[in-house]
Amino acid sequence: MTERFDPAQADTRWQAAWDEAQSFRADDTSTKPRSYVLEMFPYPSGRIHIGHVRNYTMGDVLARYKRMRGHEVLHPMGWDAFGMPAENAAMEKGVHPGGWTRENIANMKAQLKRLGFALDWSREIATCEPEYYGHEQALFLDLYEHDLVYRKESAVNWDPVDQTVLANEQVIDGRGWRSGALVEKRKLSQWFLRITDFADELLEGLSTLDKWPEKVRTMQENWIGKSQGLQFKFDLSTGGSLEVYTTRPDTLFGTSFVAVAADHPIAQTLAAGNAEVQDFIALCKQGGTTAAELETAEKLGFDTGITAKHPFTGAPLPVFIANFVLMDYGTGAVMGSAAHDQRDLDFARKYDLPAIRVIADGENVDPVFEGDTAYSGPGALVNSQFLDGMAVADAIAAVIARAEAEGWGEGKTVWRLRDWGVSRQRYWGTPIPFIHCEVCGVVPVPKKHLPVVLPEDVDFQTPGNPLVRHPTWKHVDCPQCGHPARRETDTLDTFADSSWYFLRFASQPGDRPFDPIKIAEWLPVEQYIGGIEHAILHLLYARFWTRALARIGKIEVKEPFASLFTQGMVTHETYFRVNDANGQPVYFTPGEVERGSESATLKADGGPVEIGRVIKMSKSKKNVVDPDEIVATYGADAIRWFMLSDSPPERDLPWSEAGIEGCGRFVQRLWRLFGQYDAAATGDDKALDRKVHQTVDAAARDIESLGFNKAVARIYELTGATEKAAPSASRSAAIRSLLLLVSPMMPHLAEEAWASIGDGLIAGAAWPDVDPALLVDDEVTVAIQVKGKLRDTVTVAKGTSKEALEALALASEKVQRALDGAEVRKIIVVPDRLVNLVA
């Protein structure tokens, strides 16, 4: 072995050897126990970032370990390749989204290969390829045939920059999740998936996911949002009635107004011939449709002049048209109990409406509610006639019972979850496989005509969906009557692409999306790894899609991911100077900065720069580290080792130059130790043997529980013990075991050393065996104290008698010096732990 390990040579050599041997190709015919390890596949933005490296290193270590333990491992990789960034690139750079995306895939694939990940590239998929999305179109039609897909006109979140509809989950603080633009309300005909039909299943299924983070399960439970309430009717002053739904019927005596959506029939009737109402309805269409947006937007109302009769008191309540009520939520009408709902209180204060206390806040029972913060906590009912003194839950039940007995309302379970609107007005996505015919209506594309392939000749110079403007693509004949018709020009939300990709990884027949037998063999995914930011969007949709396919008989598995791990982010401090002209910070990359112990300077001019907070690596803050540069300097194994060291994997990992340099040094330290292997060595070292077997056993448990930092700590400890041990057969056996231990984490270093020590590739070697007898210590170190102060230690057989320990203590020269001739009056012995002499 050479004096130094050369990662530049070793990395490429062993990556080529793994490819040639197809070391990581999953065998569908294998009789071994199966392990499906999967990390969330990346969007091909063009570069792998450090967050990707951490995510994929964790999955890679687990996959390599499972293979060493005799499992047939499926560890695939692909690309979540549709989406707006590619269209934005097309508009900004004058390139085709497909060319831009495929070039990025090639770059990122090369980066992943340089990191030595044990991936089955034979199963690589890209969601933008017709051989993938054609099968997705077929599944969409299957769901349509079982009434799980439908089309309707509805209020939608419209992103005016990306020129497309957004699902509620894609609106963050009233802005588009990609563009950051303020979202608007629009009425459009949209395609929907009936996720609400699965609300109960999705909620109940969370209880079976005991290997998911509690935080993720809670987030999904809250998003599904099951609640029991009352649906009832107000009699109106104009005749007829107005139906509302409320989850808080206990506050009915505190109701001071009723509000309807701008799309409600009452509002639409009033708008006919009334310009003032028409203008207000137009104003309501500004802003998004999410619950968060409705709660935070300024509350606007229009008094219709109509009143609603309170079902208990008979009091007339004013009826408003309000911008915070949506037709798609509940009945499109709400009752306003201002004292106990912040949104209602904001509205009441703006329009000088009463706020009536009906739930006591401590001892305060005054019906006039003061202040601008609604009270939504617990308490007894007050100012509520027959409900007075009841707890909230009892009052809810009592009102529902009275309404049902008197025939003006009924108890009803509702869900916060809404059906998934999947229509997107953009080009770079899966074409929705339907045709619009003036004679036949909306007609599904026959499966024999799938895939419906995107046209290549598209123009992005004009904002909006280029499929609408394409001169020929959308014009087709109706497959039923033959008359001229047009294709659906909306494409599917890209979250549909990632809702079933894990099934396609497991089975890839050419004539159908997957083979259900193969799915049953590989699914559910044993370990899924990805960021917590996907807790609602991707993970909920993937659970729904899996259950929907199970319901229509396509597969048997209902939950796609048996175990979920959400890794922490990689962070770095920021460097900047404040721009004198506008007062805004100008950021610099770590490579542009010379970092001292307490200060930093800009390499270009030697002037000082500010050291900012340690935050998630971000292109905008320029606190990013290029993985390629790290690999070129230190090798793939050093960066892999850094990703696993120090921080628990669920926590953020601060990046530091000192840290990666230390990992590079440890690679060389191991290399030197591996070079000391001597197959001809003799003699044993029982203490080292025991240390090796205990480390192998504990590290296995650490890796299986994804406690990688704990396994790393044990490897450091075993390395030190092995270095200190005298040459012997035991030491060489320890070196060999240590080599196998680090191979999932430092595979290139391990292969290079294994070439001199073992047979074949270490990628195909087994995890070291453990002797159970060596897991139990048969020797202990006993502390010897004089008057409570440690004076010596002695190593003895476990279970040594009290008398023998006393004799050993008294025989110690260090103890005798400490006693200095004083008489020992008492000896306290704690078996296997300490001896304390009292003089």
Please give the CATH topology (third level) of the domain spanning 570-664.
Rubrerythrin, domain 2 (2.20.28)
Please tell me the distance from the alpha carbon of residue 317 to that of residue 311, in angstroms, as a whole number: 11
Write out pLDDT tens, residues 690-723: 999 999 999 999 999 999 999 999 999 999 999 9
Across 653-670, average pLDDT: 94
Residue 293, pLDDT above cutoff 70: no
The CATH code for residues 779-838 is: 3.10.20.590
Question: What are the DSSP calls for 178-219, one per residue?
Answer: TT-PBPEEEEEEEEEE-GGGGHHHHHHHGGG-TBS-HHHHHH
Least confident of 178-192, 429-443, 661-675, 729-743: 178-192
Predicted local confidence at residue 581, as pLDDT = 84
Write out pLDDT tens, residues 362-379: 788 999 999 999 998 899
Write out pLDDT tens, residues 545-583: 999 999 999 999 999 999 999 999 999 999 999 988 888
Write out pLDDT tens, residues 790-824: 999 998 888 899 999 999 999 999 999 999 888 89
% of the chain with per-residue pLDDT over 90: 80
Predicted local confidence at residue 291, as pLDDT = 59
Predicted local confidence at residue 580, as pLDDT = 82
Predicted local confidence at residue 295, as pLDDT = 67
Predicted local confidence at residue 788, as pLDDT = 92
Predicted local confidence at residue 727, as pLDDT = 97
Please tell me the distance from the alpha carbon of residue 605 to that of residue 617, in angstroms, as a whole number: 25
The contacts of residue 465 (CB under 8 Å, 6+ apart) are: 163, 164, 425, 426, 427, 489, 490
Across 218-229, average pLDDT: 92
- Would you say 264 and 333 are in contact if contact means Cβ atoms under 8 Å apart? yes
Across 193-201, average pLDDT: 97
pLDDT bucket at 286, cuts 50 / 70 / 90: confident
pLDDT bucket at 326, cuts 50 / 70 / 90: confident
pLDDT bucket at 180, cuts 50 / 70 / 90: confident
Predicted local confidence at residue 89, as pLDDT = 87
CA 3 to each of CA 6, 183, 676, 731, 761: distance values in angstroms, whole numbers, following the listed order: 9, 62, 11, 20, 22
Across 717-734, average pLDDT: 97
Residue extents of the structural domains in the chain:
8-127+498-531, 134-160+172-194+433-494, 226-415, 570-664, 675-774, 779-838
Q: Which CATH superfamily is domain 226-415 in?
A: Valyl/Leucyl/Isoleucyl-tRNA synthetase, editing domain (3.90.740.10)
Can you read off the two tokens belonging to residue 310?
A: 């309170």
Write out pLDDT tens, residues 393-442: 999 999 999 999 999 999 998 888 999 999 998 999 999 999 999 999 99
Residue 740, pLDDT above cutoff 80: yes
Predicted local confidence at residue 292, as pLDDT = 58
- Would you say 651 and 611 are in contact if contact means Cβ atoms under 8 Å apart? no
Check if 570-664 and 675-774 are the same fold.
no
Predicted local confidence at residue 274, as pLDDT = 93
Identity of residue 397: A
Residue 290, pLDDT above cutoff 80: no
Predicted local confidence at residue 84, as pLDDT = 86
Phi–psi pair at 484, nearest 5 degrees: -60, 135
Question: What are the DSSP calls for 454-477, one per residue?
Answer: PPS----SSSS-HHHH-SSTTEEE
Predicted local confidence at residue 794, as pLDDT = 92
The contacts of residue 3 (CB under 8 Å, 6+ apart) are: none
Least confident of 62-71, 290-299, 315-324, 326-335: 290-299
Q: Domain 8-127+498-531: give its CATH architecture.
A: 3-Layer(aba) Sandwich (3.40)
Predicted local confidence at residue 287, as pLDDT = 66
Across 87-92, average pLDDT: 86
CATH 1.10.730.10 fits 675-774, yes or no: yes
Residue 169, pLDDT above cutoff 80: no
pLDDT bucket at 246, cuts 50 / 70 / 90: very high
Predicted local confidence at residue 795, as pLDDT = 87
Write out pLDDT tens, residues 42-64: 999 989 999 899 999 999 999 99
**In sequence order, what E strands does 543-584 have?**
564-566, 570-578
> How many CA atoms are closer than 13 Å to the CA of 105, on its beta-carbon side?
21
- Would you say 740 and 767 are in contact if contact means Cβ atoms under 8 Å apart? yes
Write out pLDDT tens, residues 446-474: 999 999 999 999 988 887 899 999 999 99
Residue 288, pLDDT above cutoff 70: no
Across 133-148, average pLDDT: 98
